[in-house]
């Protein structure tokens, strides 16, 4: 505990410690930890809110559970009276964020950026109180900068420092091109923090470099440095890659109860507890208890996962819908004798495919004519629903279960 | 000879060849040579002038013989009716040109840039016809660019390409910082060529990278690519480093006849012919003859150098002043028995120094009191002029001859 305690009453110290315990929960990196404590202490003693920043790339507006890891943290700050600054990188979006990509992303038009931002706003309301949030478009200040301003900004950072960013370093090593304009994404993100005088910036660990740019530029422009609060990345349904729209391994927060529940049931057992920790409001004691019960065999992983599915559906719909989704899942899968270990097959074809092609390509049947006969005999189901029309176009999805006859099952992976 | 001959009359072909012979003279690199021929042919056939660009860094406005290598080439284009575009990098000057420097240069204020530019104009009139020159300040277009324009520009070049520039590469290898804003100097220089639609850009070989940026950006912005015409660099009085104001090894074109002549006499013998070729209007036949005469011993190098001194003074003053300067030099140095091989000493002290300190630090006398006595006895001369005042402040210069008594001489190097 730092020097800040000297000027605080015992009651205030208790309050700082209470808030710090909440903010530290689930955080992977806090840079530097003592700065956050000092800032919270000052906020408590001066009775003024901290400014908590979250920058959003408007190129992928479908909000999924991966986003909620950070949004839940935002809500914690909000519940303690702090000010949330959400920055829509509408200007930044014209460049695209090359984080974690090995090729430059395509630039968005003004129109696309605005439309995507609107979609974000609507969905965020499910997690945070949007009426208490400060919304900012960074084009407001960035579009006003002229060449001389840009040069002044560029004069405050070295090329070597920028090349330290993992993806830039890798691309240099691999002799893959980095377009000079990509260097400006982290600069802009840092400059946003200068303009907004943010106290804390939130993001996933993949934002490590960009969020530290905020500290760098705030110092160079003579401002107090923000704290970088980095949350763990949530793996998607495949259990390997970061949850993202482009990997198609996500649970969207505006999906239907049945979709949500089904997808939750498809995550690997090993990730269950991490999901409870990062995307649900389940308390740490309850999570610890579940972990122990699973280890001792007292709780079947399938039942724990059912609980996870219900918890998630309840958060984004309601308790009744959660119960119905569970019931639907059980009736479709468990009661129709879906075996415990369904073989999983990777789908590499088109997202939209005729049902006959689907059955043949999955090697469930040997020819289209055989497939057509099986459908006419009411022997084919998709996610428990009988297929009636041999001309049906199927939207292939992760976790979809294809059944032929009584015993042949395949679960699709993408 | 390229395809362009097909559309030209015999007379026009002769004219193109005549001009090309002039333009090629003394050029170190012409990138690409065939493009210049094609452009000249088009200009001759369409009876329209080419646009010949020279960009100037306004941070060092004293024009010296090093500059005239390029200015003489400019005059050749001008004499053949082409348009000269002189760009004062007033905007660029705010960044400073890191070419050939291992540390970032200090930025200039608007005031300094404007004042320096004025000084350039006055001095250029001695070599080129300034009334026929198009003068441009690049702030006119560069200051109007906004952040989005800058990003678009930056999107047309890769980081790897910029790091190929010799000085950037060296600094990366040496782990010396490159500030990101320095990347913009070559971008701006290239963008100037886009705006001005230049056909040829002139510069020293140290401008190789920057001038090729013009070709790069003209192509990216859909313009015809300019030709890079790179002139050899002129070594300064020390015979080693490029002539420059900061190295104090230059002959300024507005120096007095005696200074010019004296400095010309101080260049190393090996450089004499190069000086004749690059900074005088002496014809190639005459230069060849001198070279042969020196080799055969028919012409004493000192006499050839006298001729060089006279030729230079005549160019920037007049024939009468040239004769007087020669006479002055002979009376001061040759007749006062300055030995042929004066020992040379490197001066590492301040530029301004008291004469007593100078004599002691050069080891010509052992103490200040001895030095004072020698001056009182009229035994000390600087460049042939007797020193009368022991409190004299001396501006130390390259080539300055310090004499003590009848036989002790030292020539100063810096």
CB A89 within 8 A of CB A56: yes
How does residue B283 score in pLDDT terms, banded at 50, 70 and 90? Answer: confident
- Give me the pLDDT at residue B2, please: 56
Set of chain A residues whose Cβ sits within 8 Å of the Cβ of B189 = none
Of A95, A155, A178, the CB nearest to B181: A155
Set of chain B residues whose Cβ sits within 8 Å of the Cβ of A150 = 147, 150
| Nearest-CA distance B57 → chain A (Å) | 17
- Spell out which chain B residues touch chain A, with contact meaning CB-CB distance below 8 angstroms: 91, 94-95, 107, 142-152, 154-155, 157-160, 162-163, 168, 172, 175, 177-181, 183-184, 187
Alpha-carbon gap, residue B21 to B36, rounded angstroms: 12
How does residue B338 score in pLDDT terms, banded at 50, 70 and 90? Answer: low
- Give me the pLDDT at residue A232, please: 94
pLDDT in tens, B92-121: 766 554 433 434 456 677 788 778 878 888
Residue of chain B whose alpha carbon sits nearest to that of A92: B148
Of B91, B147, B179, the CB nearest to A158: B179
**Which residues does B70 contact at the CB level (< 8 Å), separation at least 6?**
B54, B202, B203, B204, B231
| Nearest-CA distance B109 → chain A (Å) | 12
- Give me the pLDDT at residue A97, please: 43
- Give me the pLDDT at residue B100, please: 38
**Beta bridge pairs of residue B394:** B353
Alpha-carbon gap, residue B346 to A281, rounded angstroms: 78
Mutation site, B108, B151, B172, interface A, largest A CB count within 10 A: B151
Supply the mean pLDDT for chain B: 87
Percent of chain B exceeding pLDDT 70 equals 92
Set of chain A residues whose Cβ sits within 8 Å of the Cβ of B94 = 148, 151
Q: Extract the tokens encoding A134.
A: 């400060």
Q: Extract the tokens encoding B174.
A: 């040496």
* Pairwise CB contact (< 8 Å): A146 & B145: yes
* Pairwise CB contact (< 8 Å): A181 & B151: yes
State which of B155-169, B192-206, B230-244 shows the largest mean pLDDT.
B192-206
**Beta bridge pairs of residue B385:** B382
pLDDT in tens, B253-282: 989 999 999 899 989 999 999 999 999 988
Residue of chain B whose alpha carbon sits nearest to that of A149: B147
* Torsion-angle region of A337 (φ positive above 0: left; ψ -120 to 50: alpha; else: beta): left
Who has greater pLDDT, B380 or A121? B380
- Spell out which chain A residues touch chain B, with contact meaning CB-CB distance below 8 angstroms: 91, 94-95, 142-152, 154-155, 157-160, 162-163, 168, 172, 175, 177-181, 183-184, 187
* Pairwise CB contact (< 8 Å): B149 & A147: yes
- Give me the pLDDT at residue A407, please: 67
Burial bucket for residue B391 (CB in 10 Å: 0-12, 13-18, 19+): exposed
Question: What is the ipTM, given to two decimal places?
Answer: 0.74
User: What is the mean pLDDT, run by run of 10 residues, along chain A of 414 residues?
Assistant: 73 94 92 93 94 85 87 94 92 56 57 80 86 90 93 92 92 91 93 98 94 96 97 91 86 91 91 92 89 91 92 94 90 60 81 91 88 89 86 88 81 83
Q: Extract the tokens encoding A354.
A: 């005729």
CA distances from A184 to A152, A259, B12, B233 (A): 13, 39, 51, 36
Largest CA distance in chain B: 82
Give backbone dihedrals phi and psi of A27, rounded to 5 degrees, phi first: -80, 135
Set of chain A residues whose Cβ sits within 8 Å of the Cβ of B183 = 154, 159, 180
* Lookup result for tokens 């990188």: A89
Work out the angle between the directed axes of helices B147-154 and A147-154 (0-180°, nearest 10).
60
* Pairwise CB contact (< 8 Å): B143 & A146: yes
Domains located in chain A, CATH noted: 3-231 (3.40.50.620), 257-334 (1.10.240.10), 344-413 (3.10.290.10)
Residues tagged in the binding site annotation of B for ATP: 245
A50: nearest Cα among A81, A28, A82: A82
Set of chain B residues whose Cβ sits within 8 Å of the Cβ of A169 = none
* Pairwise CB contact (< 8 Å): A183 & B145: no
Of A145, A163, A168, the CB nearest to B147: A145
Mutation site, B98, B162, B181, interface A, largest A CB count within 10 A: B181
- Give me the pLDDT at residue A194, please: 98
Residue of chain A whose alpha carbon sits nearest to that of B162: A180
> How many helical (H) and strand (E) elements, i.e. helices and strands, does chain A have?
17, 13
B68: nearest Cα among B249, B285, B278: B278
**Which residues does B273 contact at the CB level (< 8 Å), separation at least 6?**
B287, B290, B291
**Beta bridge pairs of residue A85:** A53, A134
Residue pairs between chains A and B whose CB atoms are closer than 8 Å: 100
**Which residues does B325 contact at the CB level (< 8 Å), separation at least 6?**
B257, B258, B260, B261, B309, B310, B313
């Amino acid at each position: 505990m730092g020097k800040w305690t000297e000027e605080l009453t015992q009651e205030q110290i208790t309050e700082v410690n209470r808030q710090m315990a909440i903010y530290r929960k689930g955080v992977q990196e806090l840079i530097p930890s003592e700065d956050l404590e000092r800032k919270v202490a000052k906020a408590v003693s001066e009775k003024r809110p901290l400014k908590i920043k979250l920058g959003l790339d408007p190129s992928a507006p479908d909000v999924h559970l991966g986003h909620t890891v950070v949004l839940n943290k935002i809500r914690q700050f909000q519940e303690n009276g702090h000010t949330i600054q959400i920055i829509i990188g509408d200007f930044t979006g014209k460049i695209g964020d090359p984080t974690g990509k090995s090729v430059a992303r395509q630039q968005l038009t003004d129109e696309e950026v605005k439309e995507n931002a609107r979609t974000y706003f609507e969905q965020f309301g499910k997690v945070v109180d949007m009426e208490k949030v400060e919304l900012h478009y960074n084009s407001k200040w960035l579009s006003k900068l002229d060449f001389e301003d840009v040069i002044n900004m560029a004069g405050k950072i070295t090329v070597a420092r920028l090349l330290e960013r993992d993806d830039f370093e890798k691309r240099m090593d691999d002799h893959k091109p980095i377009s000079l304009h990509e260097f400006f994404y982290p600069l802009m993100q840092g400059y946003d923090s200068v303009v907004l005088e943010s106290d804390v910036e939130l993001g996933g660990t993949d934002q490590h470099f960009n969020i530290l740019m905020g500290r760098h530029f705030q110092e160079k422009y003579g401002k107090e440095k923000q704290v970088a609060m980095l949350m763990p990345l949530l793996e998607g349904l495949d259990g390997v890659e970061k949850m993202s729209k482009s990997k198609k391994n996500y649970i969207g927060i505006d999906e239907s109860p049945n979709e949500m529940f089904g997808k939750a049931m498809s995550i690997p057992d090993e990730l269950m507890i991490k999901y409870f920790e990062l995307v649900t409001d389940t308390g740490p004691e309850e999570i610890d208890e579940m972990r122990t019960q699973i280890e001792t065999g007292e709780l079947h992983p399938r039942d724990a996962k059912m609980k996870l599915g219900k918890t998630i559906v309840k958060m984004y719909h309601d308790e009744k819908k959660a119960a119905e989704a569970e019931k639907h899942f059980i009736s479709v899968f468990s009661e129709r004798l879906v075996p415990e270990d369904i073989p999983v097959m990777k789908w590499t074809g088109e997202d939209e495919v005729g049902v006959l092609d689907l059955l043949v390509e999955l090697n469930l049947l040997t020819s289209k004519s055989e497939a057509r006969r099986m459908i006419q005999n009411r022997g084919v189901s998709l996610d428990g629903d009988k297929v009636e029309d041999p001309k049906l176009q199927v939207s292939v999805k992760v976790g979809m279960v294809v059944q032929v006859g009584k015993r042949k099952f395949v679960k699709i992976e993408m």
